[in-house]
A and B are shown apart, each in its own frame.
Chain A
Amino acid sequence: EIVLTQSPGTLSLSPGERATLSCRASQSVNINLAWYQQKPGQTPRLLISDASVRATGIPDRFRGSGSGTDFTLTITRLEPDDFAVYYCQHYGTPPRTFGQGTKVEVK
């Protein structure tokens, strides 16, 4: 099973600041990686597929990058609606797995 490790666990930032979230895989997943956003009481929302492709309707302030074992989700300027938990998920060699999540909170 491929283990995804996200860091940091919590990111405390202010609106307008840049958020940089990391996801590291225990072995290569090529670009078979997605990012999701989840707000309290809501279902996860797909943000990024194939490491860097924004899903339909996702603003361009969300940017994914990386390949192999190291991936980054960058939110260029945080808006109030962006404070949430973010998960990475691989869909390379089964089983698929999620990272443990990074919470982006208001500083």
Chain B
Amino acid sequence: EVLLVESGGALVEPGGSLRLSCATSGFSFSSYAMNWVRQAPGKGLEWVSVISSKSVVTFYGDSVKGRFSVSRDDSRSTLYLQMNSLRAEDTATYYCAKDARGGGGDMDYWGRGILVTVSS
């Protein structure tokens, strides 16, 4: 069974930092690109970032570029999102999601999400 479990969510003040983790199991983690997607309360989905297999390339959404950094530890089958210079508009549930296949970009498995709240 494929499982993705996010952790690290918290209440943080504007300007602060936070690191999210996504522990995975049930598939060959190193073989797949992995994504972060977020959803502000009552809003739609916003794609945040992707990291390719073997960490060859990373991409970011315009709203987080320069502030967020994605990484992975294939030995631990874990995905990370380092979030710096946090803003109120970063408040959201953050999901990690697995690419469905190599060379694709559709996402077939998602974690249940973790809430990040940015507020003073």
Contact = CB atoms under 8 A, between A and B. Distances in A.
A98 to B, nearest CB: 4
B44 A91 contact: no
Nearest to B33: A91
Name the prevailing secondary structure of the B interface residues. Answer: strand
B61 A46 contact: no
B67 to A, nearest CB: 14
Contacts of B105: 32, 34, 89-92, 96
A96 B61 CA distance: 7
A101 B37 CA distance: 15
B62 A1 contact: yes
Contact of B47 (A32, A92, A98): A98
Interface in A11-29: none
Contacts of B37: 44, 98
A95 B112 contact: no
Contacts of B97: 44
A46 B45 contact: no
B56 to A, nearest CB: 13
B111 A43 contact: yes
A7 B47 CA distance: 19
